Amino acid sequence: MMFQSPWFLLGTALAAVPVLIHLWYRRRLRKMAFPTLRFLRASEAQRFGWLRLRELLILTARCLFIIFLFLGLARPVLKSRLFAIGRLSSVYLVLDNSYSMAYGDNFKRMKKLAQQVVARYSSDSEFLIVPLCSERDRVLGTWKTKNDALDSVERLRLTYRGGSIAKSLASEPSREAKHEIDYVYVGDGQAVNFRDFPVESADNGKGNYYWVQVSTGTNIGISAVALKDPVTVAQDEYTLQITLSSYSSRTWSGRIGVASGEHYSERECRLEPFAEGSFDLDLPAQSLTGEVRIFDDSLLVDNVYYFCKVLPKKIGVLLVGDSPYLKHVLTSGTAISGSFDVQAAEALGAADLRKHDVIVLNGLLEISESELIRLADFQRRPGTGLIVVLAGGAGANLRESVSGSCLLGEAVLPKGYVTLEWIAHDHPVFAIFGESGALQDVQCYGYLRIEAEKGVLARLSGGDPFLVVRDNLAVFSTPLTPQHTNFVHSRAFVPVMLRLMVNLVTRQQRKEYRVGEVVTLPGTVRTPAGELLHPGDQLSMPGFHFHDGETLAVNVLPEEGDLRVMGPERARVLGVSGIDPQRDLAGSDLSNLFLVLALVLILVELALLWLR
Amino acid sequence: MNTSRKYLDPEVLARISRLDLKARLVVEGFLSGLHSSPFKGFSQEFADYRQYMPGDELKRADWKVYGRSDRFYIKEYQEETNLRAYILLDKSGSMGYGKKISKLEYAKYLGASLAYLLHRQKDSVGIATFDRRIDEIIPPSARRAKFMLILRAIEKARPGGETNLNEVLFELAQKMRRRGLVIVLSDLLDDPDGVLRALRSFRYRKHEIIVFQILDRDEVEFPFNESAVFADLEDGREMIVTPQLVQRRYRERFKEFLDFCHDSLLESRIDHTVLYTNTPYDKALIAYLQKRVRLK
């Protein structure tokens, strides 16, 4: 046992005071000769025994009270095998203020544990307080004294963000560390927090890595809230598809509800352990903004999802060039095709582009310079999309019109055909196909080679892109004719084209964001707390935000709801020593124990005084 | 108060130094107050006439005087017996207790007074002083020289060690072979059963016994208020006592002790009189004289 304020131990000498008072009082008592003490002894023998015992007990209680009081003030601590007391180190103290710490009173417990950790170091140690989630990616930290570190821990606030320990440890201190470095992370140890943690940290010999474990529980969270059918133009109502994730080892049954304006509906849900499930809720077509809420769960804030949806509207399409298949797609009498207002033209010419939302250039070899300029203006308009279906070659202006997305190469005529080898299943355009293989039989007999660094949604065998989408521009490398591809006969052709058009038109109308994203919108964004965010600022809290008369919905990262923690095996691989607060920290500070004992002794004395 | 009767007050008497004088003052003061003279008239030696008073026995009327003077007169006689009296004076440590006068002092004055009264009535009187053993013993005698020895023995009695009433009384009972009146002056603070057995042994030897149990009021009432270290006068053992806590039980116990003494002694036909150190001596002397009357 060690004492952090050993000078208080001198106070234990005051325990002699009650004894001295007792002896002085005894000496001060009048001595009387009396002949009939036998009657006192006879009648009160038992009672005198008790009174004498009581007197000794009271005296003992008083002495112990003083001893325990000063022992408590001397702040005794037990030595720990793993996390020794009085260490002299330079400590990187990474404090988990990510949103997952909102579980129960974990954040409060984390701060208390962090203060216990700080208290265990010697007064000459230095501390770099590193919040797991901060406004900036890299923080210039200053070394603090023990007392300042304790204050900093106390002032730390919970955020709604997710965190990365690796990123936090990249913080640059104001100067070199004076002592051996301890890296101490205090938090729930969510597996996602360690995703970028370097495996070689175990062997680099640059410091000791500790994880002070804040135990956490299980959770059910809302992973996504999306339009069930993002293509069809809604008539009276539309359907929200709510994806719930279970991070619990138990089957969960509960309710979810959606509230939008005066509309409210809810339904029962059930999730198997560690499973994901989608549940539909219908809303009136005019209810585009609202909240989805899970009931009966522990982590409260991720039980709410703020949504702000943009429903597909009737899209005006200008088909330029001969495109009977596309025309057939857009004008056939299906419910989906009813969402389009289609006009066809041989060339852009002098057509008024403002009337259209999507322009499809099908099989053109070149466009004029004025058309190039007009297309550029058209693309800059919000809610527009340009689809370029390349023919066997492309002129300079046409190449220029797609240069923001890709570079066009030479025409390719493969021997036989090439197949569609890969598609981006997670992209909204292809999301409905999943692993169904609807596009596996697509063949191309000739195409124009294109190069694109980003935005490739489909590739042909051999690696050449089939479809590139960037911003509101989509480029097909293959002419959509039966002579060049059987895609036009594929059952996936119609939905892919329709979803592509809707996606192009609506992608610029994004109204849902995640905490931690950087504001890119021009002007200012007003947070639910009334703060104004400017471009470059990070969104820091969930809720409805306001920008230029528009409502934006901001939600926490879904992964923060995943409370599964790094396991011991993973910790061993990463070279992180787990500190169990119960075993290695809790109870090591015996101050409270002794102060409570002192209080108990006061009560004992009062009880003894009362017992006559 | 009659000048001579004031010496019946123990406190007043304590101011006088000479024991023989004390004894005389007590007895004279006592006798001067005996208006009805119930203790005269049993001797054969004529003392005086006096007028008949209501309550006097008619058989004591002198009918010859009545015939001559047509008035009732009673003939008074001086008492004259061959009574042998033993005064047993307990001078154990516990007898040394008392505020203004100690129990031993009270007992000494009372013993001297009784001795004086006995001597004055021409009875034989002896004394034994003792604590845990017999200290001094003077056999009964009616001679004045012996009486003076008795007074001296009483005077030099000082509080001693522990009481051993039981054995001492047995021993005295064996030494007193001729029957007589045994006057015990003691606080009886010993094993009550043992003391009772010892006193009964006097009865077996045909002695008449009168016990004056001398106590201090404090012993009965335990009137203390402050906590104190109480030391036993005999064995010296000490106790810290908070009187308020023990007072009631103590009084009960002491009363039980007194009641036991009284009932047991009366049952054994032993006269028992409790005297406190502030009790006037006439109570004791009356008790003695009543006893003596019964002995006639």
- Do B116 and B169 share a domain, yes or no? yes
Residue B216, domain member (yes or no): yes
Helices marked H in A300-354 — which ranges? 324-331
pLDDT of residue B80: 46
Specify the range with the lowest mean pLDDT, choosing from A327-341, A534-548, B25-39, B248-262. B25-39
Q: Which residue, among A134, A126, A124, has the nearest Cα to A157 in the 3D structure? A: A134
Mutate to test the interface with A, among B250, B254, B258 (most CBs of A within 10 A): B250
- The chain A residue lying nearest B159, using CA atoms, is A35
Sign of CA dihedral A582, A588, A591, A597: positive
Higher-confidence residue of B18 and B135: namely B135
A377: CB partners within 8 A, 6+ apart: A353
- Do B137 and B60 share a domain, yes or no? no
- The chain B residue lying nearest A49, using CA atoms, is B239
> Averaged over B157-171, what is the pLDDT?
84
Chain B residues near residue A43 by CB distance under 8 angstroms: 246, 249-250, 252-253
Residue B152, domain member (yes or no): yes
pLDDT of residue A259: 92
> Averaged over B113-120, what is the pLDDT?
84
- Do B56 and B178 share a domain, yes or no? no
Q: Strand A315-320 vs strand A358-362: parallel, antiparallel, or unpaired?
A: parallel
Statement: A315-508 belongs to CATH 3.30.70.260: no
* Distance separating alpha carbons of residues A525 and A509, to the nearest angstrom: 16
DSSP assignment of A18-80: HHHHHHHHHHHSEEEEETTHHHHHHHHHHHHHHHHHHHHHHHHHHHHHHHHHHHHHT-EE---
Residue B177 structural domain:
84-295
Beta strands in A445-514 (DSSP E): 447-451, 456-460, 465-470, 473-476, 512-514
List the structure tokens of A463. 């690696």
Instruction: Compute the nearest-CA separation of B255 from chain A (Å).
Output: 10
Chain A residues near residue B102 by CB distance under 8 angstroms: none
Does residue A26 sit at the B interface (CB-CB below 8 Å)?
yes
Statement: A220-309+517-560 belongs to CATH 3.40.50.300: no
Does residue A47 sit at the B interface (CB-CB below 8 Å)?
yes
Which run of H or E residues covers position B167? helix B165-175
Residue B35, domain member (yes or no): no
pLDDT of residue B5: 56
Q: Contact, A449 vs A477, CB < 8 A? A: yes
Q: Strand B228-232 vs strand B238-241: parallel, antiparallel, or unpaired?
A: antiparallel
Q: Which residue, among A485, A448, A500, A464, has the nearest Cα to A325 in the 3D structure? A: A485
Give the B window 185-204 contacts with A, CB below 8 Å. 187, 189
Q: What is the DSSP letter of A85?
A: T
* Distance separating alpha carbons of residues B137 and A191, to the nearest angstrom: 108
Q: Which residue has the tokens 């003939």?
A: B75
Number of residues in chain A: 612
* Distance separating alpha carbons of residues A293 and A301, to the nearest angstrom: 9
Specify the range with the lowest mean pLDDT, choosing from A59-73, A75-89, B35-49, B169-183. B35-49
Specify the range with the lowest mean pLDDT, choosing from A543-552, B81-90, B182-191. B81-90
Q: Contact, A419 vs A486, CB < 8 A? A: no
Residue B32, domain member (yes or no): no
pLDDT of residue B42: 45
Does residue A27 sit at the B interface (CB-CB below 8 Å)?
no
Q: What is the DSSP letter of A415?
A: S
- Do B73 and B97 share a domain, yes or no? no
Q: Is B250 close to A37, i.e. CB distance below 8 A?
A: no
Does residue B248 sit at the A interface (CB-CB below 8 Å)?
no
pLDDT of residue B41: 41
Instruction: Write the CA distances from A519 to A425, A447, A552, integer angstroms.
Output: 28, 39, 11
Q: What is the mean pLDDT of chain B?
A: 80
**Predicted ipTM > 0.90:** no
Dump pLDDT digits (tens) for A448-494: 999 988 889 999 988 899 999 988 899 999 988 888 899 888 888 88
* Distance separating alpha carbons of residues B294 and A286, to the nearest angstrom: 130
Residue B28, domain member (yes or no): no
Beta strands in A78-214 (DSSP E): 90-95, 126-131, 140-141, 172-173, 181-187, 208-213
Chain A residues near residue B96 by CB distance under 8 angstroms: 33, 35
Helices marked H in A453-561 — which ranges? 493-506
- Do B157 and B275 share a domain, yes or no? yes
pLDDT of residue B37: 41
Does residue A44 sit at the B interface (CB-CB below 8 Å)?
yes
Residue B82 burial (C-beta neighbours within 10 Å; 0-12, 13-18, 19+): exposed
* Distance separating alpha carbons of residues B12 and B30, to the nearest angstrom: 14
Does residue B225 sit at the A interface (CB-CB below 8 Å)?
no
CATH number for the domain that contains residue B212: 3.40.50.410
Residue B26, domain member (yes or no): no
Instruction: Compute the nearest-CA separation of B44 from chain A (Å).
Output: 47
List the structure tokens of B293. 């009357």
Return phi, psi of residue B287, to 5°. -60, -40
- Do B276 and B291 share a domain, yes or no? yes
pLDDT of residue A198: 74
Chain A residues near residue B218 by CB distance under 8 angstroms: 34
Q: Is A39 close to B253, i.e. CB distance below 8 A?
A: yes
State the total domains in chain B: 2
Instruction: Quote the Cα angle for A19-A24-A30, to 5°.
Output: 135
Number of residues in chain B: 296
* Distance separating alpha carbons of residues A90 and A142, to the nearest angstrom: 12
* Distance separating alpha carbons of residues B163 and B191, to the nearest angstrom: 10
The SS3 of residue A186 is strand
Beta strands in B216-258 (DSSP E): 228-232, 238-241
Residue A294 pairs in a beta bridge with A256
pLDDT of residue B133: 87
Residue B17, domain member (yes or no): no
Biggest alpha carbon–alpha carbon distance for chain B: 77
What is the fold, at CATH topology level, of the domain defined by A90-215+568-589? Answer: Rossmann fold (3.40.50)
Q: Contact, B43 vs B79, CB < 8 A? A: yes
- Do B287 and B264 share a domain, yes or no? yes
Name the residue among A34, A47, A612 with its Cβ closest to that of B230. Answer: A34
* Distance separating alpha carbons of residues A157 and A137, to the nearest angstrom: 17
Higher-confidence residue of A493 and B239: namely A493
- Do B51 and B133 share a domain, yes or no? no
Q: Is A36 close to B189, i.e. CB distance below 8 A?
A: yes
Q: Is A44 close to B252, i.e. CB distance below 8 A?
A: no
Return phi, psi of residue A9, to 5°. -65, -25
Instruction: Quote the Cα angle for A188-A191-A197, to 5°.
Output: 105
pLDDT of residue B161: 75
The SS3 of residue B117 is helix
Q: Contact, B117 vs B183, CB < 8 A? A: no
- Do B69 and B199 share a domain, yes or no? no
Q: How confident is the model at residue B127 (pLDDT cuts 50, 70, 90)?
A: very high
Does residue A546 sit at the B interface (CB-CB below 8 Å)?
no
Domain ranges of chain A: 2-30+38-78+593-610, 90-215+568-589, 220-309+517-560, 315-508
Q: Is B246 close to A38, i.e. CB distance below 8 A?
A: no
* Distance separating alpha carbons of residues A368 and A376, to the nearest angstrom: 12
pLDDT of residue B38: 42
Return phi, psi of residue A411, to 5°. -75, 145
Q: Contact, A220 vs A247, CB < 8 A? A: yes
Return phi, psi of residue B73, to 5°. -130, 150
Query: Of B53, B78, B103, which one is at a domain's C-terminal end?
Result: B78
Tally Cβ neighbours within 10 Å of residue A76: 21
- Do B69 and B187 share a domain, yes or no? no
pLDDT of residue A235: 78
Residues of chain A with pLDDT under 70: 42-48, 79-84, 135-140, 171, 199-206, 231, 296-302, 332-338, 434-437, 507-508, 585-588, 612
Report which residue type is found at A38: R
Q: What is the DSSP letter of A189?
A: -
In CATH terms, are A90-215+568-589 and A315-508 the same topology? yes
Name the residue among A40, A42, A612 with its Cβ closest to that of B239. Answer: A40
Does residue B251 sit at the A interface (CB-CB below 8 Å)?
no
- Do B146 and B54 share a domain, yes or no? no
pLDDT of residue B39: 43
* Distance separating alpha carbons of residues A305 and A223, to the nearest angstrom: 9
Chain A residues near residue B219 by CB distance under 8 angstroms: 35-36
Q: What is the DSSP letter of B107?
A: H
User: 3-state DSSP: chain A helix, strand, coil percent, rounded to 5?
Assistant: 30, 30, 40
Q: Contact, A33 vs B224, CB < 8 A? A: no
Q: Contact, A564 vs A273, CB < 8 A? A: no
pLDDT of residue A386: 92
Instruction: Compute the nearest-CA separation of B5 from chain A (Å).
Output: 31
